[in-house]
Chain A
């Protein structure tokens, strides 16, 4: 119950103001098509440097939570999901809006998001300390395998091609070795003076997530998208609460599905929303109404994608394995403040950990309150043309990456990695495993070197890294994640057309 003691920290003036800014800003950013939660959080990181660690994380956590919920606004009113996590919301949310029930759909969506989100954060609160205590048993070899597991699990589950996902992870691990070696001080892969200090994580995150989006928007050309925003009429919130209570089945399915999927590293909100929608449809007495503007569809999808947020942080905060690309960006936010997840976080920095987690709980309530009022404004912002958005994001990326350490070299690295990532994505590679490799690379290397030193004084490298119950369990998980994804990929190819696969 340690978390209760840190609630007053969340209500300190600066922290609460940041929570408000993160929540309202996140709702608006989330509603903007083309601005994914991951990119929004990456672009916000430079604004956290001058803040204390807990305050910075409050801002990032609030933005993460509310961008996912905010994506429902454009999904319902514009039929454009603000984020991949809101795809399932579009299926019933937009037909509801078309039949004059936009306010009802939005209210149900925010209420379901809040219920799912609060349940998810409670799971985070109760599971994290248990797992963190378990992580105390981890030595260098286990931490090495955990870092590798983090890369392989996202590399294999988050990509359409397992080989390309793993290759992306390898590229990230290699990029992490650029610069001076920590032990010998030797120069490694410094091809340009801008790389002398290694690749700055924040500049890399901004480049890898923001620049491909900018180039994708450029690639659409001089393109006018006249999207009609459906007007939001008045609807009683009390009625919406009653309706949510009547749809307990859809709410429970969404919340539980989202929470379980969130705990599995690498499986994002998109999957959570779609699986919950599908399960809710299967168990519904009115399954024929799904897809025609049925409230159960909105409730299941939105409760799932927000219930996923809290549990996706459990492996991050306890084992340093981010559960989603956005969690990987949050890991970058932790590391720049010199805080390492795991036992260190809960033992040495409990104020940071618990204030952050508590703020996510309060953030859910704020998101619910503001969501209903900001929805109309967010839908207007969502109409900002893509070319304006592309130019704004490019400007934010340049200024943001420079502001990290006032280095023009970081801007070069950001741009070079971003352009490279755009082209790699066109050929089936993905940014998430590359980012994971970049973030977890130093952790993997430090533990590999430390383990090698211990091994040379004891049983040898093979015995140290490949034997022992925990090592074997972790290696088994690495192999299982790759094998499972490869099997799923082959199975999907059997059932999908080639056009589906290359899209």
Chain B
């Protein structure tokens, strides 16, 4: 039996997803050509599938004992930050430029998670100063010290 409160459905979905990936990897490994190139993937995928299906079977039977899952409240707290991070990485960094997108994402994240009151002008000034400091450090480290050439910025 599962431990009290353990989200059994979540475990079934997670282990089911991994089992599906394992199956897809095994299918590709055993069907793609040239077979010599897939010799090692075949070996791994066989073990992968066995372990993944054992984990899935345990989840189905409610025998999973390790892993607390993700509560709804936890997900709701994390979701805004995750959304900002994903938009920053998968769209804004390339579209707006690394420094512009990084600064905007940093400021939004501070605003979302800073427990200071949102109606206080002082807290907004503090956030702006921290963000400016972050931008200066990132620019100093990556553009000036490491000379990393990033995509063109939208504003400069």
Cα(A213)–Cα(B151), bound, Å: 27
List, in ascending order, chain A residues with CB within 8 A of B41's CB. Answer: 174, 177, 188-189
Over the window 44-68 of chain B, the binary record of Cβ atoms lying under 8 Å from chain A Cβ atoms (1 yes, 0 no) is 1101100110110010000011111
Cα(A391)–Cα(B130), bound, Å: 11
For A402, A426, A427, the residue with the greatest tally of chain B CB atoms inside 10 Å of its CB is A427
Q: Are B3 and A415 in contact (CB under 8 A)?
A: no
Q: Are B11 and A427 in contact (CB under 8 A)?
A: yes
Give chain B's interface secondary structure class.
helix
Query: Total contacts A to B, CB within 8 angstroms?
Result: 189
Q: Are B113 and A402 in contact (CB under 8 A)?
A: no
CB contact between A427 and one of B14, B38, B51, B130 (< 8 Å): that residue: B14
List, in ascending order, chain B residues with CB within 8 A of A427's CB. Answer: 10-11, 14-15, 67, 69
Which stretch in A267-275, A342-350, A355-363, A403-411 binds the other chain? A403-411
Q: Are B68 and A170 in contact (CB under 8 A)?
A: no
Q: Are A399 and B40 in contact (CB under 8 A)?
A: no
Q: Is A214 an interface residue (CB 8 A)?
A: yes
- Interchain nearest-CB distance for B2 vs A (Å): 8
Cα(A445)–Cα(B68), bound, Å: 34
Q: Are B78 and A406 in contact (CB under 8 A)?
A: no
CB-nearest residue of chain B to A47: B146
Cα(A177)–Cα(B81), bound, Å: 32
Cα(A161)–Cα(B34), bound, Å: 36
List, in ascending order, chain A residues with CB within 8 A of B77's CB. Answer: 218-221
Known: A426-B69, A427-B67. A166 touches B98 (CB 8 A): no
Q: Are A184 and B66 in contact (CB under 8 A)?
A: no
Q: Are A186 and B37 in contact (CB under 8 A)?
A: yes
Q: Is A503 an interface residue (CB 8 A)?
A: yes
List, in ascending order, chain A residues with CB within 8 A of B142's CB. Answer: 399, 403
List, in ascending order, chain B residues with CB within 8 A of A503's CB. Answer: 68
Q: Is A288 an interface residue (CB 8 A)?
A: no
List, in ascending order, chain A residues with CB within 8 A of B37's CB. Answer: 181, 183-184, 186, 188
Over the window 392-405 of chain A, the binary record of Cβ atoms lying under 8 Å from chain B Cβ atoms (1 yes, 0 no) is 10111011001100
Which stretch in A233-241, A244-252, A494-502 binds the other chain? A494-502
Cα(A394)–Cα(B84), bound, Å: 11
Interface residues of B in 130-156 (CB under 8 A from A): 130, 134, 138, 141-142, 146, 148-151
Q: Is A412 an interface residue (CB 8 A)?
A: yes
Cα(A439)–Cα(B81), bound, Å: 30
- Interchain nearest-CB distance for B150 vs A (Å): 7
Cα(A223)–Cα(B102), bound, Å: 23
- Interchain nearest-CB distance for A292 vs B (Å): 32
Cα(A406)–Cα(B102), bound, Å: 16
Cα(A398)–Cα(B99), bound, Å: 11
CB contact between A160 and one of B14, B66, B86, B134 (< 8 Å): that residue: B66
List, in ascending order, chain A residues with CB within 8 A of B146's CB. Answer: 46-47, 49-50, 403
Cα(A392)–Cα(B75), bound, Å: 21
Q: Is A167 an interface residue (CB 8 A)?
A: yes
Q: Is A388 an interface residue (CB 8 A)?
A: yes
Q: Are A215 and B148 in contact (CB under 8 A)?
A: no
Cα(A265)–Cα(B40), bound, Å: 25
- Interchain nearest-CB distance for B100 vs A (Å): 12
List, in ascending order, chain B residues with CB within 8 A of A173's CB. Answer: 44
Cα(A47)–Cα(B141), bound, Å: 9
Over the window 354-398 of chain A, the binary record of Cβ atoms lying under 8 Å from chain B Cβ atoms (1 yes, 0 no) is 000000000000000000000000000000010110111011101
CB-nearest residue of chain A to B49: A170
Interface residues of B in 18-47 (CB under 8 A from A): 18, 22, 25, 28, 32-34, 36-41, 43-45, 47
Q: Are A174 and B45 in contact (CB under 8 A)?
A: yes
Q: Are A395 and B106 in contact (CB under 8 A)?
A: yes
Q: Are A395 and B4 in contact (CB under 8 A)?
A: no
List, in ascending order, chain B residues with CB within 8 A of A28's CB. Answer: none
Residue pairs across A and B with Cβ atoms less than 8 A apart, 16 shown, are A163-B51, A167-B18, A167-B52, A186-B33, A222-B115, A223-B113, A387-B112, A387-B114, A391-B105, A392-B134, A396-B138, A402-B148, A412-B90, A415-B90, A427-B14, A452-B39
| B contacts, CB < 8 Å to A | 3-4, 6, 10-11, 14-15, 18, 22, 25, 28, 32-34, 36-41, 43-45, 47-48, 51-52, 54-55, 58, 64-70, 74-75, 77-78, 80-82, 85-86, 88-90, 93-94, 98, 102, 105-106, 109-110, 112-115, 130, 134, 138, 141-142, 146, 148-151
- 13 additional contacts, CB 8 Å, given A163-B58, A448-B40? A161-B66, A170-B22, A214-B85, A220-B77, A388-B110, A394-B109, A402-B93, A402-B150, A403-B148, A427-B15, A428-B67, A448-B43, A498-B3
| A contacts, CB < 8 Å to B | 46-47, 49-50, 160-161, 163-164, 166-167, 170-171, 173-174, 177, 181, 183-184, 186, 188-189, 214-215, 218-224, 385, 387-388, 390-392, 394-396, 398-399, 402-403, 406, 408, 411-412, 414-415, 419, 423-424, 426-429, 444-445, 448-449, 452, 493, 498-499, 501-503
